Amino acid sequence: MVEINCTKVTEFSLMGFTEEPVTQVTLFLMFLLIYLFTILGNLGMIALIRASPQLQSPMYYFLGNLAFVDLCSSTVITPKMLVDFMSEKKGIAYVGCVAQVFIFDLFGMTECFLLAMMAYDRYVAICHPLVYPIVMSPKYCFQLVTGSYLVGLTNGMGQTIGMSNLSFCGSRVINLFFCDISPLISLSTSNTTLSHIILRTSASLFGLSSSLVVLVSYVAIISAILNIRSAEGTRKAFSTCASHLTTVSIFYGTSLFMYLKPSSDSSREDKWAAVLYTVVTPMLNPLIYSLRNKEVREALRRLTKPK
For the chain, give the mean pLDDT: 81
**Residue 267, pLDDT score:** 57
Per-residue pLDDT, averaged over 110-136, amounts to 90
307, pLDDT greater than 60: no
Three-state secondary structure call for residue 14: strand
Domain range summary for the chain, segments of one domain joined by +: 11-290
263, pLDDT greater than 60: no
2, pLDDT greater than 50: no
The H-assigned helical ranges of 7-130 are: 21-51, 58-85, 94-127
Share of the chain above pLDDT 70, in %: 85
**Residue 136, pLDDT score:** 93
**Residue 69, pLDDT score:** 94
Are 24 and 191 within 8 A, CB to CB? no
Q: Which residue from 285, 35, 108, 269 is spatially nearest to 27, judged by alpha carbons? A: 35
**Residue 269, pLDDT score:** 63
Contacts of 146 (CB under 8 A, 6+ apart): none
93 Rama sector, left if φ>0, alpha if ψ -120 to 50, beta otherwise: beta
**Residue 259, pLDDT score:** 58
d(CA 249, CA 266): 22
**Residue 91, pLDDT score:** 84
Would you tell me which CATH number, out of the four given (1.20.1070.10, 3.40.50.740, 3.40.50.1970, 3.40.50.300), belongs to the domain 11-290? 1.20.1070.10
d(CA 59, CA 77): 27
How many Å from the N-terminal Cα to the C-terminal Cα in the chain?
74
Cα→Cα distances 278→1, 130, 260, Å: 38, 38, 17
**Residue 1, pLDDT score:** 42
251, pLDDT greater than 80: no
Cα→Cα distances 204→84, 109, 208, 213, Å: 33, 12, 5, 13
* Helices 281-292 and 58-85, axial angle in degrees (round to 10): 140
Per-residue pLDDT, averaged over 99-104, amounts to 91
For strand 173-174 and strand 11-14, is the pairing parallel, antiparallel, or unpaired? parallel
Per-residue pLDDT, averaged over 231-240, amounts to 66
